[in-house]
Chain A
Amino acid sequence: MSELDLTALAVLAAAAGDPAGYARRWKAENNRPVVGSFPMNFPSELVHATGALPVIVQESRTPITEGRSLLPEFYCSYTRSVADQAAVGELDVFDAFLLADHCVQLLGAADVIRWAKPEKPMHFAQFISSMDDPWSGAQVLDKVRALQAEVEEIVGVTVTPERLSHSIRLFNEDRRLLREFWDRRRAGTLRITSRQLQVLVKSSMVMDIEEHSEILRGLLANLDPDEAAPAGLVRLHLSGHFCAPPRPELLDLIEECGVLVVNDDLYHGARYIDTDVPEGVDPFDALALWYLDRNISAPCGTRVQRNVDWDEYLVSSVEQSGAQGVIVLMAKFCEPLMLYYPELRKALENRDVPVLLIETEHEGLAEEAVRTRVETFVERIHRNEMKVGSSVS
C-alpha cells in the first residue's frame, strides 16, 4: 500500500477549493480568456484548443444569499449555487460560458447568468440526450461544430484539427493518470481517501491540464510503500451525485464508520474520467463519439438509452470491485437521480446488495443523523455477512 505526497496534493486542493482564484491567477499570467462550462458532458478539449482556459463551473461553499431571489429553493444545490455565484459576482472572472447538457434546473441557472451578466456570451449547444436514435450521432456532431464556431468567436482563434487533436491527447493523458489512482484503489495498492480522490478529479476540471498532469505524474512517482488497510472494514461503492461533488466532510464521515470505499460512479469521481476521446479519427467526430461512449462506459440518469442501464452497470461494477454495499448519494431535488433511484435499488436488492440513500444539501450536513444511518448500514452488512458465513460453514 502507498500514500500520497501531501504537499503536491495541497496544490491541487487549493485550485479545487478556489477555482475562481486559480482562474484569475492563470489569466493574469497568460493574458488569455477563461471560459466557463457546465456539467456533465462538456468537451473541454474544444476550449483548450483555442488557448483559453476551460473551467467547469463548480458549486461554491459560500452560503446562498442573493441567489435565493433568483431560483426557487427546490432546485438542486449546484444550480442554486451557480445562480448565487452569478448574482454576487463570483463568476466575474469568466469571459464566456458554454453549455451542452440539457437539465431543466441547469438551464434555469444558465438563464440567471444570462440575466445577471448580459454582457457575457452564454451559448447552449444542446447535445441530444436520447443517445441511441439513428440521428443521435449526427446531431451531436452538429452541436460540436456549433460549439466550435462559438468558441472561435469568443477567443478569436480557429480550432484546427491539429490543435484539437493535441488537446485531446493532453486530456486523455490526464484521465489516464487519474484512472491509475482509481485502479490502485480498487486493487488495494493505494491508501487514498475519497476526499483526496475528489481533489484529484475536481482540480482537473478547473486547472490548466498540463500543469495538472505534471502534478499527477509527480504524485504517482512518489508513492511510498505503506501498511495494508485495516482489516474488518466494509467495502462500499459510492454512486450518484451528479454535477457537484458531495461535501468532503460527508465522505470523511462515511469512511469513519468502518468503511473502505473501493469504487464509485460519482461525477466528481470515476464517471468523469472513465471515457477517453478516441484518437486517430477526425477530432471533431471524436468529441461526438466521446459523448456517446460516455453513457456506455458509465451510464447516467440524465441521458436516455434503451440498450444501456445504469442499474446493470452498477451491479456489475459492484461485482468487479467486491463492494459489499452501495451508498447512493443524491443531491436533494436532483430529478434524474430521483427518477433512476428506484431502478438502482431494485437491481441491487434483487442481487442482495444492501443499498443506502443519503440526500445532500448545500446548506450543510446533519452529521449525527447521517453517521447513525451509515453505522446502522455498516452493521447490517456485517450481520448479513455473518449470516452468510455461518450458513455456508
Chain B
Amino acid sequence: MSLDLATAPTEPLDKSNRLASTRAGGKMVAEYWDNIFTAKERGKHVVWYNGTALNPIFQAAGLEWCHGEAFSARLAAMHLEGPAQAAGEEYGYIGELCSYARTHLGCAVMTQKGITEKQSGIVGMVDQDELASKLPSPDFFVNAYAGCSTGQQWDAMTYRVFGKEFPIFNVSLPMIWGNKPDAGYLRGAEWETTPLYVEEQLKKLIEFIEYQTKRPFDWDALSENMSYIKRASELRLEAMALCAAAPTPATYWDWVASIAPINFMPANQALVDYFQGVKDEIQYRIANSISAVQNEKYRVYFDGIMNWNKLGFLTRKFAEHDVAVVAGRYTHDSFWQEPDLIDINRPLLGMAQHYLICPINHGLKIMEELLIKRCDEYGIDGIAFHSTRTCRAMTNPQHILAKTAERDRGIKSFFFEGDVADASFYKDESLESGLVAMLETIDQQRSRRA
C-alpha cells in the first residue's frame, strides 16, 4: 500500500525546545510499567483502577496499581494501541466509544484470554509479545471517576469482562454543579460538604483494601506519601508559574510529559526530585533567556484531553507557527493542583477535595472562572480546543467556553478534531486551517490595537 503524499500530514519543522529534565520522567514511567508486568511473579496484590489518583492509598497498602487511562495513553503514545483496540472491537465495542475505555477494555479482554490460556492449557489465544497483553490480572478493581459517567460504567464492564471473578469497589464522586449563588471554585456550601461525603467513602475503601489484603492499613505511610505528593505538587506549580514569563521557558507539552509522574508514580523522594529538576531547568532557562519555542509570537491555551498519538507532532506543529502553547485545562487544572488542601494529618480529606476538582467535575460556571483565570495568568492570545472525539466529558463545555473567552477577554479560539487514543480521528487539515485562521485574527487584533 502506498502512502498518499498529497493528504498525509507533513512533518513540521522543529522550532520547539522541549525540556531535557522531563526525560527522567519517561525513564521512571517505563521502569514503573516494567515492574508492574512482573507483579504476579513477585506475589503482589494488583489493583486495577480508573479515574482519580488513588495511588497514594494503594502504595500505603503495599499494592501494585494499574491505572486504566494511563496504560491506554502509554499504548497510544507508543503507537501500540492497535492490538488492544482490535481485541475490544472483536469483543463488540464500537469505535465511537471512549478510546481510553475501549483500549483498556481490549487489554482486559487480552488479559482475560491469558488467564483462560493458563487455566485451559490452550496456548495461542493471545500474543504474549504485545505490550497490550502484559497487564497482570487484577485481584480487585477500584473505581473513582469524577465528572464522567463513562468512567464508572467502563469499570463495571471490565468487572464483567473478567466474569465478575474479582471484586470491585466504587467510590462515588458527585459533580460540583455550582448552581447556588455562593458557588465557585473552592467555595460555597456545596464545596464545603461534598468532600466530607467522599472522605467517608475513602475510609470504607481502606476497609475494603484491608479485607482484600488481610493486612492492616498503614496510615503513617499514607501521610508520608501525601507529604511527597504535596512537595512535588508545590514544585510543579512553582515551575508552571514561571511560565507566565514571555517568551515561555517551557510549554504545555512539557507539562503533558510530566502528567504520568504526578498522576500515578510512587510518592517518594524521586518524585520530588523529578519536579525539582524540572523547576531548576526552567529557572536556568529564564536566567539564560532560553525559550521553549523559537521566536514565540503567540501564546495559546490548550483545552481538551491530550491527543496521545500526536504528542511530538503537535509540539512541533504549533511551534512551527511560532505558537507557544503555555497552559491547558488538562495539565494546569488537574493532578494535585491545590497542594494547600493537603493536610498530612488528615490526608483523606485533601485527597477527596482533589478528586472533586478534577477539571471535568465542575459545572459550567466554575469552568468559565478557571479558564479566564488561566488566560489572565499566562497572557493568553488564543485557545486551541481539541475536539476530543470520544471524550464527551472534556468536550461538553468547549463551545460555551470559547464564547466566554471571546466575550470576557476578546480571546479568539479554534477547534480541531482528534482523539485521546484513536489516531483515526485526527484531522490535520482542521488543525492547520483553524490555527492559521486564528493567528491571522490575532494579528489583525494586534494591528488594530497598535
- Selecting from A101-109, A164-172, A283-291, the interface stretch reads A101-109
> Looking at the complex, which one of B98, B168, B399 makes contact with A71 (CB distance below 8 Å)?
B399
> Looking at the complex, which one of B172, B364, B389, B399 makes contact with A69 (CB distance below 8 Å)?
B399
Q: In the bound complex, what is the Cα–Cα distance between A308 and B366 (angstroms)?
A: 36
Q: In the bound complex, what is the Cα–Cα distance between A346 and B179 (angstroms)?
A: 42
Q: In the bound complex, what is the Cα–Cα distance between A71 and B399 (angstroms)?
A: 7
Q: Could you name 10 residue pairs across A and B whose Cβ atoms are closer than 8 Å?
A: A104-B148, A107-B175, A108-B396, A111-B396, A122-B179, A128-B172, A302-B153, A335-B150, A338-B94, A345-B92
Q: Are B170 and A133 neighbours in the complex by a CB distance under 8 Å?
A: yes
Residues of B within 8 A of A313 (CB): none
**Does A2 sit within 8 A of B, measured CB to CB?**
no
- The minimal Cβ–Cβ distance linking A122 to chain B, given in whole angstroms, is 7
Residues of A within 8 A of B352 (CB): none
Q: How many A-B residue pairs have CB under 8 A?
A: 124
- The minimal Cβ–Cβ distance linking B10 to chain A, given in whole angstroms, is 27
Q: Are A339 and B154 neighbours in the complex by a CB distance under 8 Å?
A: yes
User: Nearest chain-B residue to A307 (Cβ)?
Assistant: B164
User: Nearest chain-A residue to B397 (Cβ)?
Assistant: A111
Given A107-B175, A346-B92: A304 and B170 interface contact (C-beta under 8 Å)? yes
Q: In the bound complex, what is the Cα–Cα distance between A340 and B150 (angstroms)?
A: 11
Q: Are B98 and A72 neighbours in the complex by a CB distance under 8 Å?
A: no
Residues of B within 8 A of A75 (CB): 392, 396
Given A70-B400, A104-B148, A124-B175: A339 and B157 interface contact (C-beta under 8 Å)? yes
User: Nearest chain-B residue to A103 (Cβ)?
Assistant: B149
User: Nearest chain-A residue to B164 (Cβ)?
Assistant: A306
Q: Are A306 and B97 neighbours in the complex by a CB distance under 8 Å?
A: no
**Does B156 sit within 8 A of A, measured CB to CB?**
yes
- Binary contact readout B148-173 vs A (1 if CB under 8 angstroms, 0 otherwise): 11101111110110001000101010
Residues of B within 8 A of A340 (CB): 153, 157
Q: In the bound complex, what is the Cα–Cα distance between A112 and B153 (angstroms)?
A: 24
Q: In the bound complex, what is the Cα–Cα distance between A343 and B271 (angstroms)?
A: 40
**Does A163 sit within 8 A of B, measured CB to CB?**
no
Q: Are B97 and A339 neighbours in the complex by a CB distance under 8 Å?
A: yes
Residues of B within 8 A of A342 (CB): 91-93, 157
Q: Which residue among A75, A112, A134, A339 has the maximum number of chain B CB atoms within 10 Å of its CB? A: A339
Q: Are A338 and B399 neighbours in the complex by a CB distance under 8 Å?
A: no
Q: Are A338 and B179 neighbours in the complex by a CB distance under 8 Å?
A: no
User: Nearest chain-A residue to B97 (Cβ)?
Assistant: A338
Residues of B within 8 A of A135 (CB): 200-201, 204
- Binary contact readout B385-401 vs A (1 if CB under 8 angstroms, 0 otherwise): 00101101101111110
Q: Are A343 and B157 neighbours in the complex by a CB distance under 8 Å?
A: yes
Residues from 120 to 137 in A contacting B, C-beta threshold 8 Å? 121-124, 126, 128-130, 133-135
Chain A interface, number of residues (Cβ within 8 angstroms):
45
- The minimal Cβ–Cβ distance linking A183 to chain B, given in whole angstroms, is 31
Q: Chain A binding site: helix, strand, loop or mixed by DSSP?
A: mixed
- The minimal Cβ–Cβ distance linking B185 to chain A, given in whole angstroms, is 16
Q: Which residue among B152, B159, B170, B175 has the maximum number of chain A CB atoms within 10 Å of its CB? A: B170
- Binary contact readout B298-329 vs A (1 if CB under 8 angstroms, 0 otherwise): 00000000000000000000000000000000
Q: Are B149 and A104 neighbours in the complex by a CB distance under 8 Å?
A: yes
**Does B238 sit within 8 A of A, measured CB to CB?**
no
> Looking at the complex, which one of B155, B364, B387 makes contact with A72 (CB distance below 8 Å)?
B387
- Binary contact readout A59-77 vs B (1 if CB under 8 angstroms, 0 otherwise): 0000000000111101100
**Does A336 sit within 8 A of B, measured CB to CB?**
yes
Residues of B within 8 A of A133 (CB): 170, 172
**Does A22 sit within 8 A of B, measured CB to CB?**
no
Q: Are B364 and A335 neighbours in the complex by a CB distance under 8 Å?
A: no
> Looking at the complex, which one of A72, A74, A124, A129 makes contact with B149 (CB distance below 8 Å)?
A129
**Does A189 sit within 8 A of B, measured CB to CB?**
no
User: Nearest chain-B residue to A347 (Cβ)?
Assistant: B160
Q: In the bound complex, what is the Cα–Cα distance between A111 and B396 (angstroms)?
A: 8
- The minimal Cβ–Cβ distance linking A95 to chain B, given in whole angstroms, is 16
Q: In the bound complex, what is the Cα–Cα distance between A336 and B157 (angstroms)?
A: 10
**Does B101 sit within 8 A of A, measured CB to CB?**
yes
Residues of B within 8 A of A333 (CB): 96, 392
Q: Are A111 and B172 neighbours in the complex by a CB distance under 8 Å?
A: no
- Binary contact readout B361-397 vs A (1 if CB under 8 angstroms, 0 otherwise): 0011100000000000000000000010110110111
**Does A114 sit within 8 A of B, measured CB to CB?**
yes
Q: Are B93 and A338 neighbours in the complex by a CB distance under 8 Å?
A: yes
Q: Which residue among A121, A124, A304 has the maximum number of chain B CB atoms within 10 Å of its CB? A: A304
Given contacts A339-B156, A341-B92, 5 further A-B contacts (CB under 8 A): A104-B148, A104-B149, A104-B392, A130-B170, A343-B160
Q: Are A306 and B168 neighbours in the complex by a CB distance under 8 Å?
A: yes
**Does B147 sit within 8 A of A, measured CB to CB?**
yes
Q: Are A124 and B164 neighbours in the complex by a CB distance under 8 Å?
A: no
Q: Are B399 and A70 neighbours in the complex by a CB distance under 8 Å?
A: yes
- The minimal Cβ–Cβ distance linking B412 to chain A, given in whole angstroms, is 15
**Does A193 sit within 8 A of B, measured CB to CB?**
no
- Binary contact readout A78-93 vs B (1 if CB under 8 angstroms, 0 otherwise): 0000000000000000
Q: Are A130 and B175 neighbours in the complex by a CB distance under 8 Å?
A: no
Q: Are B150 and A339 neighbours in the complex by a CB distance under 8 Å?
A: yes
Q: Which residue among A71, A74, A306, A346 has the maximum number of chain B CB atoms within 10 Å of its CB? A: A74
- Binary contact readout A126-155 vs B (1 if CB under 8 angstroms, 0 otherwise): 101110011100010000000000000000
**Does A33 sit within 8 A of B, measured CB to CB?**
no
Residues of A within 8 A of B174 (CB): 126
User: Nearest chain-B residue to A99 (Cβ)?
Assistant: B177
Q: In the bound complex, what is the Cα–Cα distance between A122 and B177 (angstroms)?
A: 10
- Binary contact readout B68-97 vs A (1 if CB under 8 angstroms, 0 otherwise): 000000000000000000000001111011
